[in-house]
């Protein structure tokens, strides 16, 4: 029995298209109403049902955002406001019920879209799972503070998409009781937020979080950002006033606020990242800091797989305008900004005696914002009684004369099997080799097995032992070393 290209959903019938390798793709299916006019800055609401069969051959419009990297899909206001949509990749051959993997894209809570070619999920679906990806509100639309409106609207969008999956995925051959939610970077920050959000409880059984940023903000910080936005635009901080101006104005204002961080040495790590938005620990949508909640057992009934890359920060300094540190004074400032005591810089120097100041800066920033936090999420989940699997992506890109290393996001074309896309070939510096394709297939198999059974193929962490899967050519499994850089962060609170 094969998957019909015409499927009935709660909103109406949709017609998908055939992809290579026995997969049917359904794109741009609304899971919530357009967040405009009276619905702008509010929690998502149900979409208006349609009567005719909806063409699901094209992706929906992306959330309002400024362009970031060349080659990523741009936002065009003329594309329409129906931005809250999902896409489904389903194996044509029907099984009883297939595991489901829901992908949440990253992008610093500022940009990103599920239509990025690097997230094309046919190869994952060919591994025997149903894959769903989604768009959600980013930037001020999704994470800016608006008086009288819910915080974390982007996270609420993700919950609405998961509710759509629960209600509709069986029609696509998926098992609504066997859902894995996965994300990278801001998508991983979203995943660990969902792990602890009451509104998301019971909507998924497993979670994958790659490169979780140590960035969750207070309501006071969120209000400060909105006040800066108001000062730049001259618009009063009321829902009525903010809803009356086009998204382009808020996008431009956000860019100016980001630039302010770059001129403020007291801005902490935002002096380097310039990221103004993050999930808000508001006590309602997000009750507390995710790491603390996970350590207290808030998600112990969810299987968890975490991963970080070896050289996270190199992507930011190489492909964007993030400043690079070259002198000792700058290194001390950067270490403090990322939470590292100045006294620990010497510890890094002893571990890497041949490293330049710039190399040490990259290692400290990578560990402080991503690697240490991601690893702690997995370890604390295991200590709280959950099942957790840890991994590290260590394959180094030869692109740009090796400047990227194993940078932030490098694993994405491997886990999606999109090595032949322009982004994939850029990271690989050319056509994929057989060893690179083999690594990709191994990672795809691990994701598919984890989505199906909760076991990706290596030992789970325990309070006493932390086996780590090293994604490289060849792959390996080794015990986490707590005596190196990990020891330098031991007394740093997150």
Q: Could you tell me if residue 336 is left (phi over 0), alpha (psi between -120 and 50 degrees) or otherwise beta?
A: alpha
Q: In what order do the strands lie in the sheet with 13-15?
A: 6-8, 13-15, 54-55
C-alpha pair distances (Å), 169 with each of 9, 20, 86, 248: 9, 21, 11, 35
Q: Calculate the alpha carbon distances from 211 to 185, 205, 302, 473 in Å.
A: 5, 20, 19, 20
Cβ atoms within 10 Å of 145's Cβ, excluding its own: 23
* Spatial separation of the C-alpha atoms in residues 174 and 358, rounded to whole Å: 48
Half-sphere exposure of 160 (CA within 13 A, CB side): 26
- d(C-alpha 30, C-alpha 56), whole Å: 10
Query: Closest Cα to residue 309, out of 357, 353, 363?
Result: 363
The pLDDT assigned to 281 comes to 98
At 3 the pLDDT is: 59
Q: Which helix (H) or strand (E) holds 251?
A: helix 247-262
Which one from 141, 312, 372, 380 is the annotated catalytic residue?
312
- Beta strands 467-471 and 388-393 are parallel
Q: Is 401 a catalytic residue?
A: no
Say whether 346 is catalytic: no
Report how far residue 298's alpha carbon sits from residue 52's, in angstroms, rounded to the nearest whole number: 43
What is the dihedral sign for C-alpha 276, 279, 280, 281? Answer: negative
Task: Say whether 464 is catalytic.
Answer: no
**Which of 122, 185, 226, 391 is labelled catalytic?**
185
Handedness of CA 192, 197, 199, 201 (dihedral sign): positive
Q: Structural domain boundaries of the chain?
A: 6-488
Q: CA of 215: how far to CAs of 2, 109, 187, 284, 368, in Å?
A: 44, 11, 12, 18, 11
Rounded to the nearest 5 degrees, what angle is found at the Cα of 240, between the Cα atoms of 236 and 244? 90
Runs of H (alpha helix) within 367-406: 372-383, 399-402
358 to each of 134, 331, 408, how far by Cα in Å?
37, 8, 17
Q: Are 11 and 50 in contact (CB under 8 A)?
A: yes
| pLDDT for res 339 | 87
Sheet with 174-184, side-by-side order of all strands:
17-19, 23-30, 85-91, 130-134, 98-104, 174-184, 206-210, 303-309, 388-393, 467-471, 476-479
Backbone CA torsion sign across 119, 321, 401, 188: negative
Q: Give the span between the Cα atoms of 419 and 415, in whole angstroms.
A: 9
pLDDT at 20: 84
SS3 of 484, please? coil
Residue 181 in tokens: 């939610």
Both tokens of 163, joined, read 């509710």
What is the full per-residue pLDDT of the chain (494 aa) written as tens digits? 455 699 999 999 999 999 988 999 999 999 999 999 999 999 999 999 999 999 999 999 999 998 876 666 778 877 889 999 999 999 987 767 999 999 999 999 999 999 999 999 999 999 999 999 999 999 999 999 999 999 999 999 999 999 999 999 999 999 999 999 999 999 999 999 999 999 999 999 999 999 999 999 999 999 999 999 999 999 999 999 999 999 999 999 999 999 999 889 888 889 898 899 999 999 999 999 999 999 999 999 999 999 999 999 999 999 987 889 999 999 999 999 988 888 889 999 999 999 999 999 999 999 999 999 999 999 999 999 999 999 999 999 999 999 999 999 999 999 999 999 999 999 999 999 999 999 999 999 999 999 999 999 999 999 999 999 999 998 899 987 777 888 888 888 88
| 156, 43 Cβ separation under 8 angstroms | yes
Residue tagged active-site, from 114, 308, 408, 475: 408
Q: Which is nearest to 232 in space by CA: 262, 247, 254, 265?
A: 254
Is residue 100 within 8 Å of 174, Cβ to Cβ?
A: yes
CB atoms within 10 A of CB 18: 12
pLDDT of residue 70: 64
Note the pLDDT of residue 475: 84
**In whole angstroms, what is the distance from residue 411 CA to residue 409 CA?**
5
User: What is d(CA 374, CA 390) in angstroms, rounded to the nearest whole number?
Assistant: 9
Whether CATH 3.40.50.1820 fits 6-488 = yes
pLDDT at residue 2, as a whole number: 57
How confident is the model at residue 205, as a pLDDT? 98
For residues 282 and 375, give the distance between their C-alpha atoms in angstroms, rounded to a whole number.
25
Burial of 350 (0-12, 13-18, 19+ CB in 10 A): exposed
Q: Distance between terminal CA atoms of the chain?
A: 51
């Amino acid at each position: 029995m094969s998957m019909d290209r015409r499927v009935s959903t709660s909103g109406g019938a949709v017609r998908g298209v055939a992809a290579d390798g026995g997969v049917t793709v359904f794109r741009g299916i609304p899971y919530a109403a357009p967040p405009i006019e009276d619905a702008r800055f509010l929690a998502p609401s149900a979409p208006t049902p349609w009567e005719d069969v909806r063409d699901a051959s094209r992706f929906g419009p992306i959330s309002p955002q400024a362009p970031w990297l060349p080659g990523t899909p741009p936002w065009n206001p003329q594309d329409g406001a129906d931005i809250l949509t999902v896409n489904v990749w389903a194996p044509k051959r029907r099984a009883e019920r297939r595991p489901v993997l829901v992908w949440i894209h990253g992008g610093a809570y500022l940009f990103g879209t599920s239509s990025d070619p690097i997230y094309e999920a046919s190869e994952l679906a060919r591994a025997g799972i149903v894959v769903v990806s989604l768009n959600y509100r980013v930037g001020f639309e999704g994470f800016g503070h608006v008086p009288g409106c819910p915080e974390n609207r982007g996270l609420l969008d993700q919950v609405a998409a998961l509710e759509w999956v629960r209600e509709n995925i069986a029609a696509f051959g998926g098992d609504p009781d066997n859902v894995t939610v996965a994300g990278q970077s801001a998508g991983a920050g979203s995943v660990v937020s969902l792990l602890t959000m009451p509104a998301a409880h019971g909507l998924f059984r497993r979670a994958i979080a790659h490169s979780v940023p140590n960035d969750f903000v207070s309501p006071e910080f969120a209000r400060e950002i909105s006040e800066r936005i108001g000062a730049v635009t001259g618009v009063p901080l009321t829902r009525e006033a903010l809803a009356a101006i086009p998204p382009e104005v808020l996008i431009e204002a956000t860019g100016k606020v980001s630039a302010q961080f770059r001129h403020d040495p007291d801005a902490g790590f935002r002096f380097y990242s310039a990221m103004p938005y993050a999930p808000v620990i508001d006590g309602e949508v997000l009750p507390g800091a995710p790491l603390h909640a996970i350590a207290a057992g808030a998600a112990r009934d969810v299987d968890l797989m975490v991963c970080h890359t070896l050289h996270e920060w190199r992507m930011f300094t190489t492909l964007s305008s993030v400043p690079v540190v070259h002198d000792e004074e700058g290194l001390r400032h950067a270490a403090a900004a990322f939470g590292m005591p100045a006294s620990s810089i010497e510890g890094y120097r002893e571990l890497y005696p041949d490293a330049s100041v710039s190399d040490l800066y990259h290692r400290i920033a990578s560990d402080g914002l991503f690697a240490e936090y991601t690893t702690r999420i997995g370890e604390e989940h295991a200590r709280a009684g959950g099942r957790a699997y840890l991994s590290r992506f260590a394959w180094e890109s030869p692109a740009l004369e090796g400047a990227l290393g194993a940078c932030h996001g490098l694993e994405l074309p491997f886990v999606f099997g999109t090595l032949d896309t322009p982004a994939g070939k850029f990271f690989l510096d050319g056509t994929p080799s057989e060893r690179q394709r083999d690594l990709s297939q191994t990672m795809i198999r691990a994701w598919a097995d984890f989505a199906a059974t909760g076991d990706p193929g290596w030992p789970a962490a325990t309070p006493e032992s932390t086996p780590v899967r090293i994604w490289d050519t060849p792959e390996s499994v080794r015990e986490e070393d707590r005596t190196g850089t990990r020891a330098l962060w031991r007394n740093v609170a997150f």
